[in-house]
Amino acid sequence: MSLAKTKPKSIDEYIQSFPKDLRDRLTSIRRQIITAAPGAEESLKWGMPAFSYDRILVTFKAFKNHIGFYPTPSALKAFSKKLSDYKTGEGSIQFPHDKPLPLKLIEEITAYRVMESKEFDAKWKTK
């Protein structure tokens, strides 16, 4: 759905390629992710904004009727009750454009992914 004539090279360029109302929504999601994952590396993976420590924590992408948010299947399982009002897939959540964004929930899911990442990566790091 991006309006960009060229492939964006950064999250800023990705967000700027959309109409203002959608830019505002995407920027809000980005802020919540940064709040929950301070210092996370920002990049584009598979053409969408991605946030990583040693591994990808979450990604998101704008579509015609929704924003897709991609944590992991484990995060969806952990938040299944809170996600019951949203369409979900194996590792994805759809936030419709015609409804307010659940920003606190996005922050909670991202924080969960941070915790998962730190616990998993700690098992593999040597002292």
pLDDT tens, residue order, the chain (127 aa): 555 567 899 999 999 999 999 999 999 999 999 999 999 999 999 999 999 988 899 999 999 999 999 999 999 999 999 999 999 999 999 999 999 999 999 999 999 999 998 887 655 554 4
Q: Give me the pLDDT at residue 127, please.
A: 47
Q: Give me the pLDDT at residue 7, please.
A: 87
Q: Give me the pLDDT at residue 121, please.
A: 60
Q: Give me the pLDDT at residue 126, please.
A: 45
User: How many other C-beta atoms are found inside a 10 Å radius of the C-beta of residue 97?
Assistant: 14
Cα distances from 74 to residues 27, 48, 57, 60, 100, in angstroms, run 25, 21, 12, 17, 24
Q: CATH number of 11-115: 3.40.50.620, 3.20.20.140, 3.40.640.10, 3.90.1150.200?
A: 3.90.1150.200
Reduced to 3 states, what is the DSSP secondary structure of residue 21? Answer: helix
What φ, ψ does residue 48 adopt, rounded to 5°?
-135, 155
Q: Give me the pLDDT at residue 110, please.
A: 97
pTM score above 0.75: yes
